[in-house]
Every structure is written in C-alpha cells, then in structure tokens.
Amino acid sequence: MATQTVAQQRAEARRHYDAYVAECPTRQLLDRIANKWVSLLINALADGPQRYGDLSRRVAGISQKMLTQTLRVMERDGLVERTITAAVPVRVDYELTELGASLLPVMRIIKGWAETHMDQVLTARAEYDTER
C-alpha cells in the first residue's frame, strides 16, 4: 500500500464524506441539522404542511428574521418545500420533503431525550456550579 500525503488523505476522506475531516461538507450539514431552530421546525412540520404564521406561533421564541432564514436554508438543503398559492393575501405553506421527513425519527428522538432528561441535566449543572 502506497503512503499518502496529508493532502491526498484529505482528498480521499472528502470522497467518502468523513465528518472528522475539517473540510468535509458533511460538517456543514451536521452544523445545520444540529441547529435548534432546524430541529424544532422539523418536529413542527411532522404533522404536514404549515403556514409561516403557524410555524411562528408553534416555535416560541424564534424571531421573524430567524424563521425566514432557517426556512430558506432548509429549503436550499432540500429538507423543506415551499408552496405558494395565489390568493389574497398570498398563501405560503411549508412542508417536509422526503429527505426532510427522513430526519424526523432522529429529531423526535433527540427532542424526546431532551425533554425526558432535562431534570437530570439541571441537577448536574447545579452540582457543577456549586463545586466551582
């Protein structure tokens, strides 16, 4: 087996999408899907298409700017589809694509884990802070 330079090793890793390689595009994707707003929006869209205002009310604390930005990047990544219906006023619905829906089981598990273990995390934080 031939010895590879570091540059060759990185190029090989990119071909295999190794998230441990700094230049790997999967790092960007992991950053995107680990975003709290993306996670919450995927869960919010689980029940089917929703209007912008419905999502804004459902995901408490998200600003209009952040909701718009997050929906745009999710649409760009192929996770969400935006449908515009000509009406007065114009109706815009968002729904998960097949790709976005494939993330739903993982996001539900993470959301459920956070909700289930929050008391333990709060206790651990309090103990840590007391020791420091």
Per-residue pLDDT tens listing for the chain (132 residues) = 578 888 877 777 666 788 888 888 888 899 999 999 999 999 999 999 999 999 999 999 999 999 999 999 999 999 999 999 988 888 899 999 999 999 999 999 999 999 999 999 999 999 999 999
The verdict on 28 and 12 lying in the same domain is yes
Domain interval for residue 18: 1-34
Domain match, 51 and 20 both = no
Q: Which of 58, 103, 55, 53 is nearest to 78 (CA)?
A: 103
Alpha helices, DSSP H, located in the chain: 6-15, 25-33, 36-44, 52-58, 64-76, 98-131
**CATH number where 78 lies:** 1.10.10.10
Contact 44, 52 (CB under 8 A): no
Q: Are 92 and 52 in contact (CB under 8 A)?
A: yes
* Same structural domain, 76 and 126: yes
Are 1 and 57 within one domain?
Answer: no
